[in-house]
Structure 1
Amino acid sequence: MTDRLQLYLSRQANSLPRYVAEQLVQSVFGWIPSVIGIGIRAIAYRAMMPMDGIAAIEDGVRIRFASNVRLGAGVYLDHGVYLHACPGGITIGAESMVMKNAILHVYNFRNLPHSHITIGRRSLIGESCILRGQGGITIGDDVYLGTLVQILAVNHVFSDTTRPISAQGITAQGISIGDGSWIGSGAIILDGVRIGKNVVIGAGAVVTKDIPDYCIAVGNPARVVRNLSTDPLPIEQLAIPVY
């Protein structure tokens, strides 16, 4: 029983004192609703995690390994967001938003050297997105993820037919997404993929290979259907301006 308890605690915080402190802070302040709760957490959560400036954290946000999470000024964490930041951590840049029920999870129980999730400035993680950062996930500035996007920087080894796949280990190469890209709703990005700048990934696409800068890619598996630098789209006269 003691061993199992120690295993559980080791997967929640960097030490027993940290676990107690982080659970206490979140239990006391994490449930308070409305702008009052946001204001209280902007101050109280500094006791358990690095924050640059003021971050807006809604009630119901769950954070594990809080000392490995860094929030930039103006970050917004919506209701139901879950951050699990084993060593290697989660960094969210200034003015970025993580929307309702998104999960950012950095498993690193195997001491993977590149395990992390890093999100740049002014980026958006849509509702119910799942990011798994065992191999490292780097998302640039001004990147938008639609709803239900999955970014999975991990894969299972399955070559040995004499053993269960769960016993064969994993690979974790990492994923990067360049500045200004837009990942459509329901897209899945698999481990080892590099997506360039200002790329559009169509809704529901499964990205298994690198996508160059300024390209549009769709389908399963995703394929490039247009290069906007050599074959630009016509200007949309009715486009809604962004302020």
Structure 2
Amino acid sequence: MRVSILALLLALGLAGCGTRPAARPPGADPPIRLTATLVKPTEVTLTWRDTQRGVAGHVVEFATNPRGPYTVLRFAPPGETTFTHPDLMPETSFYYRVRAYYGPTSRSIDVTVPGGRRAGKDATRDDDWATPRHIGGPADRHTVRDGSAAATPTDLRGTVMAPNGIRFTWTDHAGDEDGYLLESRPRGRPDFQVVAVIDPDIDSFGLITLPEERVASYRVRAFAYGRSSDLAVRKTGADPADR
């Protein structure tokens, strides 16, 4: 998963503070139940159960201090309830949490990157096209936290700008998003996966594609974090290589 510099700063800033809950009646849904199991001396498997409704997916995060900062391991789709974290530092405590996220997606578009020389009339020699930025007018300020479709991003377009680069633009209708997720479904794959985390209010973003993403469907999601699990902690064992 690739994250812009701005998005990385956003993630680090969010990690150390509490997150706003989804707009739901208090106590209406049980918390996410997270279990961490040390399956090998330096490998932890996480499993979770979440009965909250309308969840778009879950963010799996870890830290080596309960206060953070937390690092994103995976944006898991809603049907995924397990994750394995391998090759960990030995004899170290790892803290894990899983947070739900919500938000509507744009329509999907199909993009083919043909390769060869640069394409796109706006391509520049310094790759300025890839810089995340706000290019539209003020957002409509709809909430992404109540399940309404009004905050759905619209007018998603993908322009091939380089042999392995696509610039995406869209119209922002959200006013309380924690950011945007760019999601990709390469040809022949059944599901969309998050490929980039983007700051709030951004509506232009350049993606450097992996080989399997050169022919793919793309969509963008305005998202907000929801409820989090309790922390699960496991301490790794000795390094197997020392035995």
What is the TM-score with the length of structure 2 in the denominator?
Answer: 0.26
More strand by share: 2
